[in-house]
Chains A and B, each alone.
Chain A
Amino acid sequence: MKCPRCHSQVQPNAEHCEFCGFNSSVLCSKLGDHWVRLDRLTDPANCLRLGERRILESSLDEFERRFPQVFFAVYFGVLPQSFSSSEVAFWLLNHAAFGTQEITKRNEYGVVLVVDPSASTASFGLGYAIEMMASEIEAERILRLMSPHLLKGDYGRAVQTAINQLDKALRKIGKSSLRDPRVSSTHALATDLGLTPLRTPARTALVDQEPSNYRLD
């Protein structure tokens, strides 16, 4: 894990960055501790055209239909110099309620893309659940694929690329979880419906076997 501010390595249970002292409270002191409500496509920098916005809304709907637990949010904005895009992504995932199809979606299954066209930076913020499945390397790969479009100012295509690549990565995870009986032990009814249940009976045993990846409350 990396610190959103200084990008140095952070320990899994660290309360603050050992190098720069970054913490959530540092951001909250500047951006506030209150909750904010945002659309999935928030574009105060006016980077997206109307047609692109419609297409992306449709793609996001399809993405959320296929991955009912996950949501993908995009924020285009010119940020103050004191904030990096990764910091804003971190703050948004912890303090924003995004207008997804289902209000019950939890932010730990959220993916936030923050693009600062002025500073030419783009950051992916991943919730805890997504972070366990899609690694930072995968996120960086997706950003690299987006960069040519971002460089050309084709923000719509860049976001579309991000959605497609994230879809692909999550599908791969879903397939591997289906193949892995430890992860994908299913209830009979859910199996009939072609769904993998959220809570599996083997979850406790799974956590016991791999404590490094899973943690009980």
Chain B
Amino acid sequence: MNRSSFRVFFKATFALTFTYGLILGSEIDRVLPLPEWQAPEVGVNPISARAPILNGTPLIPSALLTAEDLQDLPPMLPAEPPSLNAQIDEERDFDLSLFLPDSLLGKPLHIEEQVLPTPAGEFRALDDSFIHTCRLSPPDCYLIDPDTHVSETQREDLSRFLEFHNRDAKISAYVVVTDRDQTIPEGVDLSQIGSGILTSRDSCLVVYPLGEPWRARVFLSNSVHRKADAGYLKSLIDDCATDAKEVTDPLEQMHRFTVRLSIRLFWLEKVTHAENPSLAEASMPTLGPVDTENREAALTASMVRESQVENSNPKKWIIGMCVLLSLIALVASVWAWVAIHHKRLRTHVWMLPEVEAAPRLGGVFSGGGGASIHYR
């Protein structure tokens, strides 16, 4: 028996077997039906009400279930979900204000009481240990707070902000935080604060009494102070203090003061570090210390002036760049055209004109034309 005959025989056998199996299976189903529960077996026992039901017919006959079996069944869910409010009401003894803001709890907003400036007679001079701690502060510590008046979160925020400022600005900013009634004693050398970093580069030191921004004192390096206008420096301090007084929270005040100081130091940097004096004059903002509207208008105007002055040179630069790019594009296109032309010429097949000449010297194909040299 060869392979093809064996394959045909195998297929025929498989088909016969499969057909016989189908017929036999259907016959078994007809002879052995599935069980069906009778009426006395269903619903006699009251516990059948908790038995699982499928399409109205109990899957397990109630008569066969015992109380022990029902213990293993999952508990029935209540008709309605439990109220979350009821749980909260039950646990009202906890102080939710520790976790939720007052606005969500329906409490009225906390109105801070007006803080009065410290009377002149109650000022306390900074002690030597405070000054010494400030002097030992590392150069990269821009927020110096020996008495820990600033909370940890605020300290991180302000320190990060000052780091950003000092990374980009040419006039670095250092802030020393004191208590609201502390003052700088006479004769103290503040130049050694921050391990002497203030003398090595253009710096601005702010001694900030927490809660009294109007008493903040700003110290500048000599190189910056010489170039800056006194009126501008006064407006700088006034502007920072005015902006800080917009809020009542002492830490928020200091934050606003620092942000404003950073902006003003950038402007001061333009004045003191500008190579073009006219640019420096043009960028000098004229601000009124009190009038907020005028101040904002002046800020906007000065910013517009700055942008105009700064944009005049970039325009020339952009035009130059455009001309340069145009020239480069022109040269590149010419070069590309020449390259393509040369490539075409290199790959071109040249058919020379056919000419005929009179034979010379008896030569059929050449008459001795050419040249000869003696190269040594």
Contacts and interface: CB of A to CB of B under 8 A. Distances in A.
Interface of A: 1-4, 7, 10-17, 22-25, 65-70, 84-86, 89-90, 93-94, 106-110, 119-133, 136-137, 139-140, 142-144, 146-147, 150-151, 170-171, 173-175, 177, 183-184, 194-200, 203, 213-217
B9 interface: no
Contacts of B364: 94, 107
A22 B361 CA distance: 7
Given A93-B363, A94-B363, A122-B372, A131 B357 contact: yes
A23 B373 contact: no
B351 A120 contact: no
A144 B375 CA distance: 8
B376 interface: yes
Interface in B322-361: 345-361
A174 B350 contact: yes
15 contacts: A3-B368, A10-B361, A10-B367, A23-B361, A90-B370, A120-B374, A123-B373, A126-B366, A126-B370, A128-B359, A128-B369, A136-B369, A143-B371, A144-B373, A195-B351
B351 A123 contact: no
Main secondary structure, interface of A, reads mixed
Nearest to A121: B374
B365 interface: yes
Q: Which 7 A-B pairs have the closest CB atoms?
A: A24-B362, A131-B369, A107-B365, A120-B376, A93-B366, A174-B350, A139-B371
A196 B364 CA distance: 26
A120 B370 contact: no
A171 B349 CA distance: 10
Most A CB contacts (10 A, CB to CB) among B361, B369, B374 go to B369
Contacts of B359: 128
A45 to B, nearest CB: 15
A149 to B, nearest CB: 9
Nearest to A85: B372
A110 B365 contact: yes
Contact of A13 (B349, B360, B375): B360
